[in-house]
A = this chain, B = another copy of it.
Amino acid sequence: MRKEELVCRTETQVRFSEVDSMGVVWHGNYVRYFEDGREAFGDLYGINYMDFYRIGVMIPIVKITCDYKKPLKYGDTAIIETRFVNCEAAKLQYDYVIYRNHTSEVVATGSTIQVFLNEHMELLLDLPEFFSEWKKAHGLIPAGEK
């Protein structure tokens, strides 16, 4: 069993339109940055929205939290670190840390939880087969377990 931490770093430039009248990134836009991070993670590890969609599974967000530490400004680059949080339940959790530019200055941290829905919009209580395989391949399920 491989033991590794699944993490991905991506970056996005702060857009003029994302800055509010206080001169800092409007707090709601961090939700987009988390999404940028999640998508970059999905592309890197082969587990993005479309990978689930193809097997008839949708993965809506059911919970989001964000803690704002420092303001991001126009001209800044947001470095988004997305970390997969392994859990047994049929859900998908990511933790995020956003840094200002390429420094160690943390501007925000947060978390999202997604669940699995089938084509009838019914909640799946078991892991989709595709996701179990993916977890096994990344050493996140001990051999022998389902």
Contact = CB atoms under 8 A, between A and B. Distances in A.
Q: How many copies does the complex hold?
A: 4
A39 interface: yes
Interface string A4-21: 000000000001110111
Interface stretch (A62-70, A79-87, A124-132): A62-70
**Interface residues of chain A: helix, strand, loop or mixed (majority):** mixed
A144 interface: no
| Range, interface on chain A | 20 to 34
A113 B21 CA distance: 19
26 contacts: A15-B35, A15-B36, A16-B26, A16-B35, A17-B20, A17-B32, A17-B35, A19-B21, A20-B21, A21-B21, A22-B58, A22-B60, A27-B31, A27-B60, A27-B61, A28-B32, A28-B35, A50-B74, A60-B68, A60-B71, A62-B67, A62-B68, A63-B65, A63-B66, A64-B66, A65-B66
